[in-house]
Amino acid sequence: MLSVVENRPGNRAEIVHELRRLMAWGGVAEAHALPFGLPALDAHLPQGGLTCGALHEATPEAPSDLPAAFGFIVAIAATMLARMPPDAPVLFVTAPGALIGRPYGHGLNRFGLDPGRVILVEAADDRQALWAMEEALRSAAPAAVAGAVGKLDFRASQRLHFAALESARPLLLLRPPGMPSVAVTRWRIAAARASPDRFGLIAGSCWRVTLERCRNGRPGQWLVEFDHASHRFSLAAALADPAFSRAGSRKRGSENFSRGRKPRWRGDRARAG
């Protein structure tokens, strides 16, 4: 069952107490690099994988790609937890409007992320979401921290990265594009058409993944699939070299879980107003 902690005015002490209770698992998460299991992709990353104890970001290529980018974050978090003790929790913090709706337990389970290991914190605003992620990292209580915010500045990203570094915990952050930060890796995610199985059914997710920034590594672009049965990444095709060649046209199947709602960035709403 998904544990949900809502941030209501006047109950911060109760929230902190409840989070400490939920995150108590008595384990130690060792700092290491998490490989995707894809040599063509892992070769672009320092130590051959995502470095724990660092800030990693994902941004949607377009507003309609927000669900796809969220799925990519969830798949990474599930892969991380699969290598940790079964009672190790992950803290997921959301700010209002950062996602389309609330994370769904059955949807998380499709990516191999047990909802019973997820502690969902719904913050009142972006500032409180950033505070909750930083405090969770400094406590070193959860095995990993993930979050979704609508606004992030350079100073806040520094605080989050240093908190992750000190606690040796990974921080996976979903945010809109166009914001400066000190993230070790930054991934731009777009939905893509998944390959059908032998029965003609879609059994996984597919993303067009662009590694835009990688400290001590190399950028690149790939078509990555994630099997919902084996919970493993696979490489559908290498699409670009580090120069980000974008020759030719492309068609993208949209993973649209918005039920008719088309998300827009805050700037779009401001211009529309």
Residue 219, class by beta-carbon neighbours within 10 Å (0-12 exposed, 13-18 middle, 19+ buried)?
Answer: middle
Q: Which residues make beta-bridge pairs with 211?
A: 187, 220
The low-confidence residues of the chain, meaning pLDDT below 50, are 21, 23-31, 238-263, 266-273
Residue 202 is classified by DSSP as B
The residues spanned by each domain of the chain are: 25-35+49-249
Q: Superfamily for 25-35+49-249?
A: P-loop containing nucleotide triphosphate hydrolases (3.40.50.300)
Say what the pTM is. Answer: 0.77
3-state secondary structure of 72: helix
